[in-house]
Amino acid sequence: MKNNLTRLTDTVSAIKTTFLFRTRLLPTHVFILEIENGLVLFDTGSPGNGKMIVESLREAKFDPGSIRAICLSHWHRDHAGSLAEIIELIGPASKVEIFIGQADLTLLTAKRPRILRFHPFLNLPVWHRPGRLPSSSNGLFIPLDNAGYTKLDRKYGIKAIPTPGHTPGHTAYLHRETGSLFSGCALSLLEPHLVGIISIFHDRKEQIRSGKRLADMDFRYLFPVHMFLRSDEIPLKKRQPCTGKKGIITRLMGNHLFFRIS
């Protein structure tokens, strides 16, 4: 089996998963963070990636049994889709704590398809259905309310940042010690040097507000789920605001740009 795991920093690795008809058309990543007493996963990829993720971890000498927590950015199936598979493969589910924004937990457990909007002007509706959930999943999830935020921070040193817009309960996660920002779909590397947002949303205005909030934060590393990856530090001084004319692709796709990395 081809190993899909890449080490990005001393503590963060990424596994490339398949999406869109099992191709790699839109690169989708699962991130692994090494903490003192185990691993934390950020998102889980589309359905059908669970076995590959667990095997990639083993091959890279990570113990999948040491996964302590899974932080979901949002309920969409390309992010929460392999959750059930991973939980089933790594054993007793009660050992893993699954964090997710409160509003998205409601959508995920409702198991009903929803309409997403694509493109700010065309506003095209897209049907989207959540992936399978782990059995007896009710007790496993920790919604990010006040108690959830405190638990995630105290136990794992991770700050949950509500970033609604792409979905109502979208959440980004900052690992405080390393300054690693796991931005989900709230901030993406649209080009290797260009940071903005993809125009799929529940609320476009909120999505831009949330993206701007993250773009202005003083993080060190940015790890978005889709598109490109970078492993170098991008502190505020390396970010140049995007002004002037937008390229044709950006305009056609309705992407919103925040900054360019110098």
Binding residues for Zn ion, per CB under 5 A?
76, 78, 185
Residue nearest to Zn ion (CB): 76
Q: How far is the CB of 37 from Zn ion (least distance, A)?
A: 30
For Zn ion, the closer of residues 27 and 179 by Cβ is 27
**50 vs 169, beta carbon nearer Zn ion:** 169
Min dist. Cβ of residue 78 to Zn ion (A): 4
What long-range pairs does 27-33 form, CB within 8 A, spacing at least 24? 27/226, 27/227, 27/228, 27/229, 28/78, 28/225, 28/226, 29/223, 29/224, 29/225, 29/226, 29/229, 30/82, 31/182, 31/223, 32/5, 32/57, 32/62, 33/175, 33/180, 33/182
Closest distance to Zn ion from the beta carbon of 233 (Å) = 25
State the minimum distance, in angstroms, from the CB of residue 188 to Zn ion: 9
> Least Å distance between CB 226 and Zn ion?
6
Task: State in angstroms the smallest separation of the CB of 67 from Zn ion.
Answer: 21
Q: Which is nearer to Zn ion, 13 or 183 (CB)?
A: 183
Nearer to Zn ion by Cβ, of 152 and 185: the residue is 185
Q: Which is nearer to Zn ion, 78 or 85 (CB)?
A: 78
Toward Zn ion, which CB reaches closer, 16 or 76? 76
User: Residue 207 CB, nearest distance to Zn ion (Å)?
Assistant: 11
Nearest CB to Zn ion, comparing residues 10 and 127: 127
Of 169, 38, 184, the residue nearest 100 (C-alpha): 169
